[in-house]
Amino acid sequence: MIICANPSAQFYSYQAEIEEAVLRVLRSDRYILGPEVNALEQEFAAYIGTTHAVGVANGTDALELALRALDLKPDDEVITVSHTAVATVAAIEAAGAVPVLVDVDPDFYTLNPTQLTEVLSSRTRAVIVVHLYGQAADLDKIGAFCKQHNLMLIEDGSQAHGAKWHGKRLGSIGHIGCFSCYPTKNLGAIGDAGLVTTSDDKLAHKIRILREYGCQERYISDIPGRNSRLDELQAAILRIKLRYLDDDNQKRRDLAAQYTSLLGDGVRTPAIRLGAEHVFHLYVVRTAHRQALMAHLKSQEIHTAIHYPAPVHLQPAYKGRVRTARSMEVTELLAQEVLSLPLFPELGVDSVSRVAQTIKNFVARDSHD
């Protein structure tokens, strides 16, 4: 059986180092926001290329706290995409702002900058750009728009740890970068975890106090905050995995290149944006025959996934309740056609060959029906 993602395989890759790190924490007297978190924050900031990194409980909290640090008012609007994990939009509402959703471009599936002017209003305060599937959105055009209109640019890099845009790490280009470290991510914990990056001293300070009840001094809340602390165990595990992130990302790129070379014209394979260094959190193909292909692959014990099966603006919680661009055509089409194939660093070239050949067999059979 070939599964779509396998975070336990990465544990076994680095088992001895991870177990040593976990025991170190268990034998210590600090379990929350201690020396492991401090060290991870310093190491991740150095890796991304920012002055600060702040450890938080998960990726949704990373986005929410980043937005709360901007002192948004109840009617303020934040622009993002509908073709994303619902967490991106949930975080906007959790921060007290209004989500405004735009379509994605038809080639790379990231925020379409041509729609930004259409949805801009006097209440717009920020843009959250989602670096989907492992590569950068068009940060040149989006960044220029934000600068022109004095908007904060927040990078959601939860699927793009280590990816670059014109040589710079994602998470270092906007005002704030937000990362989930959910177990299946390129930099995944063994549990929940998140990180926020910035080179703005004031924003970093505010995010740090927001994550712990708004306190600068223990038990004294200076501003309304909440509990979003990163524990020492997850920080220790992430420190180990961070050392191998570039190597593991290269393994992902190599496997993705193998898929692309083998699949041919039967399905639409991922395009890589000029100037982007892709880290292939997901290898996503497109086909008009998705359900039949998924069923065929499953019959051969090959498991796939859909990222994402329903645009946020059409989901029950948000349908008719969020403002969108006039056309969401690409987003709605992608929800019918995208399919994530198995991909993780330990997958192996033989498994990729088997998946690709199974797809080719399906395409050949389908073309003769």
59-104 pLDDT tens trace: 999 999 999 999 999 899 999 999 999 999 999 999 999 999 999 9
Token digits for 367? Answer: 């073309």
Confidence at residue 276, expressed as pLDDT on a 0 to 100 scale: 98
- The pLDDT score that the predictor gives to residue 61 is 98
Break the chain into its structural domains and give their ranges: 7-243, 245-368
Q: What share of the chain is helix, strand, coil (3-state, %, to 5)?
A: 40, 20, 40
Question: Judging by beta carbons within 10 Å of its beta carbon (0-12, 13-18, 19+), is residue 17 exposed, middle or buried?
Answer: middle
The rounded distance, in Å, linking the Cα atoms of 61 and 57 is 7
Which residue, chain included where needed, has tokens 């595990």? Answer: 237
The per-residue pLDDT for range 182-223, each reduced to its tens digit, is: 999 999 999 999 999 999 999 999 999 999 998 898 889 899
CATH topology of domain 245-368: Aspartate Aminotransferase, domain 1 (3.90.1150)
Confidence (pLDDT) at 320 = 86
- In what helix (H) or strand (E) does residue 212 lie, and over which residues does it extend? none
pLDDT at residue 6, rounded to an integer: 97
pLDDT at 266: 84
* Angstrom distance (rounded) from CA 235 to CA 200: 23
CA distances from 275 to 114, 145, 282, 349 (A): 19, 19, 19, 27
DSSP string, 107-160: TT-SB-GGGHHHH--TTEEEEEEE-GGGS---HHHHHHHHHHTT-EEEEE-TT-
CATH classification number, 7-243, choose in 3.30.70.270, 3.40.640.10, 3.40.50.300, 1.20.120.550: 3.40.640.10
Flag residues of the chain having pLDDT under 50. none
Q: Check: CB of residue 163 under 8 Å from CB of residue 170.
A: yes
- CA distance linking residue 12 with residue 20, whole number of Å: 13
